Amino acid sequence: MAEEKAARFPDPHEFQVPSELEGWEEMYPSHYLFSKERGEWESQQFWYLDKIHAPEPMPPLDLIFQEAWQISLSQYTTRVFCIPPAQGIAQRMVGPYMYICAIAPPPEEVIGEKAQRFEKRVFYVFEHYDELWDKWLTKFKALGKEMEAIEVPQELPKFVPEDQVLPAPTGCYVSYDILENFNNLVNQMFKGWQYHFEMLNLTYLAYLMFGDVCRKLFPGISESAIGKMVAGAYVSMFRPEEELCQLSRLAVSMNGVANILKGEGGADQKIAALEKSEDGRKWLEAFDKAKDPWFYVSCGSGWFHYEGSWINNLDIPYSYIKSYVERLENGETIERSLDEVNKERDETVAKYRELIQSDEDRDAFNNAYNTVRTIYRYAEDHLFWVEHWFHTIWFAKVREFGRLLVDNNIINEVDDIFMFNRYEIPELLTEMATGWALGVDIPVRGDYYKAKAEKRKKILKAANEWNPSPALGVPPEEVAEPFTVMLWGVTTDKVREWPQGVGEVRPEDVSEIKGFASSAGIVEGPARVLKLVKEIVDLKEGEVMVCPTTNPSWAPVFTKIKAAITDIGGLTSHAAIVCREYGLPAVTGTGVATSIIKNGDIIKVDGDTGVVTIVKRAN
């Protein structure tokens, strides 16, 4: 069985990357490449394309998040909480795409040792969750503020300021500060990601445990029903949208504010107009109060520098507010009633509980439910603080370094700094600092770095046109790693379906694809493929959205679309949850939708069965 399947996925060392991507290896650290020294081990593992974290070609500096999670996620499983049969998740780059591998369980004696530690270590977390969460949030906010406070000089001074030399030399100057500060920035990112997983592995484990209990009692229960029972309503990730709703309501209640917000034009124009009236100024005050932290929300997943954040693209929140104000004036409701969501969830739980036949089972169900509900908030709350708020600060800070490099003729554009990985940037900064230190009229190797950045941008662009194999290597016999099961939905069926996707047949010949039936209902309509997050602006009312994955900053989009299809994401993914709330059909985790469906194709989405049919191809 395993051998039959093995033949269907290429060996990672033999897998060919298209020639247009030549030179891709130098973009990433050497430990990210499939290599001879580790060849035997690598060939025996199963590597699959990580479309959750790396749906698009990976800019070198953005790999830092991946690097950080590979270590952090894995260590909490293997060395901290010691989930007995689970090992970590390894990553490799093939071309600019990332493959990941859930490593097979360790030897039995290690499993035994880990089981003892697990028992001893995890229960404290469940018993003290609220207290731990408060502490977590406090330290995390402090870390973000620390990062925000990192100083990047606006310019390299002709001479260091007087007060750094008199009355006594400080002994340490800007040439050093730049390097130290960049290193600090990197370290803080790694620290943030250590925090990210502090309770996440246990949260997912608890979720899977509750899912097991549900499936024992109700063998045919759907993942979406389990998700419905566990999901919280008052979670940080929904706050940005709530703040927008509140600001919209405030605007409608004020004098002349709604009219300005409803007008055409960008945020800048509207802000200028609002500043002219008293109510306008009051409204702006409310906006400013809400924006930190709640508008530090990525326009995408938070994983890529080019996605942008609301706070740096105020046009986005302003355009959402515009449509909310219009809807309010039409007498529509714009908010989801969180109390209602909570009530519905409790009713769902009560109805399943009622169906349980024996008292013992009912008790076990209650125990399982209380356990997962204690901790599940973590899965919903950490996301805003790490991937959105913290990453927004990071990108802004990195761009300050980018600006300095541009001003000193090392790179052409600010964002070119993202074309260099975190080990390379100190080299660029050192070259810059050296040039400054050596004196005036000292040449630097700017042209060399600029050419490198250009070449890499070309490689990433070319990679957009390439659909790599969904998996490499040998499918494993068993998986115990909780993230793999929960987040990537790796199950027997999934692995079997993969080879039928891209690679063997041409995308245009496929007329049906399968995924998770994440939100019920059947609709037909034209497709809008949003492969890059910024393409959101092309979306028209009544289209079916097809995208790699969604996240909460996309929330307002869901009022426009008829249905959603994603490449990645199980029944608890963001798209699944939101579609259920809005009553839109959704098929998630198809693996291939964005590469098979084209803009304008008429597609039928069956959220009951998880099947997407391409009814008519666009011309």
Partner 1 sequence: MGKATKPIPNSLRMEKEMDYILDFEELNKNSLQVVGGKNASLGEMISAGIRVPPGFAVTTDSYFHFITDTGIKDTIFTILSGLSVDDVESINSASAEVQDLINNVSMSSDVCAAIEEGYAWLCKKCDLKKVPVAVRSSATAEDLPTASFAGQQDTYLWIEGTDQVMRSVQQCWASLFTPRAISYRIKNDFPHEKVLISVGVQKMVNSRTAGVMFTVNPTDGDPSKVVIEGSWGLGETVVSGSVNPDKFVVDKVVIEISEKTISTKHIQCVYDPDKGKVVNVDVEPDMQSQCCMEDYEMKELVKIAKEIEKHYGCAMDIEWAIDKDFSFPESVFIVQARPETVWSQRKKESVIGKKSGYQLLMERAMKRIKIS
Binding site residues, partner 1, CB under 8 A: 1-2, 5, 83-86, 105, 111, 115, 118-119, 122-123, 126, 205-206, 208-209, 212-213, 216-222, 224-225, 228, 348, 351-352, 355-361, 363-365, 367-368, 370-371, 475-480, 485, 490-492, 495, 517, 520, 608-609
Cis peptide before 169 (omega within 30 of 0): no
DSSP string, 553-572: GGGGGGGT-SEEEESS--TT
Taking the least distance from each CB to partner 1, the nearer of 350 and 442 is 350
Closest to partner 1 by CB, 177 or 608 = 608
For partner 1, the closer CB: 85 or 503: 85
Q: Which residue number, 336 or 373, has a Cβ lying nearer to partner 1?
A: 373
CB of 522 to partner 1, least distance (A): 8
Q: How far is the CB of 26 from partner 1 (least distance, A)?
A: 35
Q: Please say which residue, 133 or 218, places its beta carbon nearer to partner 1.
A: 218
Which residue type occupies 115? A
135 or 215: whose CB is closer to partner 1? 215
Least distance to partner 1, CB of residue 607, Å = 9
Q: Tell me the sheet residues that pair with 614.
A: 603
| Residue with Cβ nearer partner 1 (364 or 557) | 364
Distance from C-alpha of 551 to C-alpha of 200, rounded to nearest angstrom:
18
Count the alpha carbons within 13 Å of 473 in the hemisphere toward its beta carbon: 24
User: Which amino acid is residue 381, in one-letter code?
Assistant: D
Residue 428 contacts residue 192 (beta carbons within 8 Å): no
Q: How far is the CB of 122 from partner 1 (least distance, A)?
A: 7
CB of 586 to partner 1, least distance (A): 12
**Smallest separation (angstroms) from partner 1 to the CB of 356:** 8
424 Cβ contact list (under 8 Å, min separation 6): 60
CB of 596 to partner 1, least distance (A): 23
Minimum CB distance to partner 1, residue 530 (Å): 26
Task: Concatenate the DSSP letters of all residues of 199-255 into one string.
Answer: THHHHHHHHHHHHHHHHHHSTT--HHHHHHHH--SS-GGGHHHHHHHHHHHHHHHSS
Q: Give the strand order in the sheet containing 46-49.
A: 89-94, 97-102, 46-49, 471-473
Measured from the CB of residue 526, what is the shortest distance to partner 1 in angstroms? 23
Bridge partners for 93 per DSSP: 98
Among 120, 181, 117, residue whose Cα is nearest residue 149 = 181
Count of CB atoms situated within 10 Å of the CB of 602: 15
Helix (H, G, I), strand (E, B) or coil at 471: strand
Using CA atoms, how far residue 58 sits from 281, 300, 569, in Å, is 42, 15, 20
User: Which CB sits closer to partner 1, 424 or 481?
Assistant: 481
Q: How far apart are CA 214 and CA 212, in angstroms?
A: 5
Listing DSSP states for 364-419 in one string gives HHHHHHHHHHHHHHHHHHHHIIIIIIIHHHHHHHHHHHHHHHHHTTS-SSGGGGGG
Nearer to partner 1, 35 or 116 (CB): 116
Amino acid at 339: D
Q: Which is nearer to partner 1, 222 or 467 (CB)?
A: 222
Please state the closest distance from residue 123 (CB atom) to partner 1, in A.
6
CB-side neighbour CA atoms (13 Å) of 147: 25
